[in-house]
Amino acid sequence: MRAQAVVTTTDRLLADRIAGTGDESAFRELYRRHTPRLYQFVLRVMGGDELEAEDIVQETWIRASRNLAGFRWESRFETWLTGIGLNLCRNRLRSSGRWTDLPEHSLGMVRPDPRESRIDLERAISRLPPGFRTVLVLHDIEGFKHAEIAERLGVTEGTSKSQLFSARRAMRRLLDPAGSAQGDVT
């Protein structure tokens, strides 16, 4: 008995089938492959708001489907999809007045909750100001380089690095309130 080779259809082949014939099974496969990671990314950027994250993921797929034929494959499909989701997150945060490009001196806005001695990582991420949270998620979780982050957010690489530094310091404060009370924030 011979072992059958597993044939994995690439994202590009699936996208070509969708763009060419509107193949629903190809769309379902792309959706299945990429939605869990996209949802986690959007959920983090939106500070843990599940309903907003679900809406944004749905809108991301709608926009991606409409623009699939124009995708040039100069980056991975996943990177392109994440970029669409990021732009939608930023637009939603801006329209609700929650997005700000925070200077470093605004770090004081992030304070540990004195009623809790310890909070989990996801909750700490959700408590970061949107600018810090976005750069932290893009760099430390999604693996983007500062040049890519700067391009996506329309900031300089230096600003991306500064926001990441500030976000990490804020995370340390949130995750170890006792240490930050003693001035240990580096």
Q: What is the pLDDT of residues 66-89, one digit of tens each?
A: 999 888 888 889 989 999 999 999
pTM for the full predicted model: 0.68
pLDDT digits (tens, 9 = 90+) for 80-116: 999 999 999 999 988 877 665 544 444 444 444 444 4
CA–CA distance from 71 to each of 75, 76, 143 (Å)? 9, 10, 22
Cα-based angle 186, 108, 142 (whole degrees, multiple of 5): 60
Q: What is the pLDDT of residue 116?
A: 45
Domain of 123 in residue numbering reads as: 101-186
**7 and 55 inside one domain:** yes
Of the candidates 164, 172, 126, 175, which has an alpha carbon nearest to the alpha carbon of residue 185?
Answer: 172
Q: Check whether 13 has a pLDDT greater than 50.
A: yes
Number of domains composing the chain: 2
Q: How many CA atoms lie within 13 A of 156 on its CB side?
A: 4
Token output for 129:
């100001």
CB count within 10 Å of CB 49 equals 15
Predicted pLDDT at 141: 87
What would the pLDDT profile of 148-161 be if each residue is shown by its tens digit?
Answer: 999 888 889 999 99
Q: What is the CATH number of the domain that holds 25?
A: 1.10.1740.10
**85/106 same-domain check:** no
| Coil, helix or strand at residue 110 | coil
